[in-house]
Structure 1
């Protein structure tokens, strides 16, 4: 009888652990929720000089949820190296979905949210850092000089290779 009770207790304990409790390392840091990550980034060098809403909205960061379950991103932040920070408000990212965080003004939807800024955020050489509602590191993406990148001109789209071994630079694609 005690052996059956011990097996049952172990099974209940294993089921009660949250999926985010698993250890995941990236850049030597522990992920809070490894299923949510920065999947791509696009910055616009034209956005530095052209502050039109159209130019600003061509600048974005994609945040992806690879799990089957929705994740409440309310209170999560996305920031650049200079401290420009966007905070998600009342937003649930569906399972197996991506939300695009645009720099300019617009109407939020399931797939696009807007920082409502009048100036460019993402520099040629920058880092986007995603943190949860408790300020814990979740993921980051770096590009440009100082991160193994080259000096690109014009709009660029950087996609993460999702290889968690070593450093993860984002390589330019047109």
Structure 2
């Protein structure tokens, strides 16, 4: 009967000699929110397009390959359905950043437009606190960025 306690002692001793494995850092998401400019010049006004386009969110592709953003969404923390932007056919190059402006304009390789207009309710980003959420086409949260201040115009998220 002595061999059982001896075997336990040997196993316990061996377990204490195994070095602990390092904890892996959280992986950087392939797409990352880098900035939200929420206090645009002139806001809150009556929703002039220049002021609406002064507020924006930026998303960076942190990988070495182009990523299709078709079906990806950006939204703020409200539950309003008109506060969701869904990317159409658009590819973001490796290491590149896209700026999503709130107002209207002509889409380019670096700037997309939400297309909102018409008064103070057209703004997406609250001037004192809000959160931006980036989700993949399956609805999985990839990144988010929050702010809680009216003393500055923007927040850097990384």
Task: Report TM bin, short chain.
Answer: 0.7 to 0.9
Give the secondary-structure state (helix, strand or coil) at the position aligned to 1:47. coil
1:41 to 36, 43, 62: 36
Gaps of 5+ in 1: 1-22, 26-30, 145-149, 162-174
Q: Within 5 Å, which residues of 2 pair with 1:25-174?
A: 25=26, 34-44=29-39, 46-83=42-79, 84-118=83-117, 119-124=122-127, 125-144=129-148, 150-152=149-151, 156-161=153-158
Q: CA deviation at 1:68?
A: 1.1
Structure 1 residues 121, 24: CA separation in 2 closer, same or farther (over 3 Å shift)? farther
Contact 1:24 1:34 in 2 (8 A): no
Aligned length, in residue pairs = 126
Q: Deviations over 1:67-111 (max 9, x none)?
A: 110011100000001131000000111001000000000000000
Aligned counterparts of 1:138 and 1:89: Cα–Cα separation in 2: 18
Gaps of 5+ in 2: 1-23
TM-score by length of 2: 0.74
Quote the RMSD (CA, aligned, Å). Answer: 1.9
Q: Which has the larger radius of gyration?
A: 2
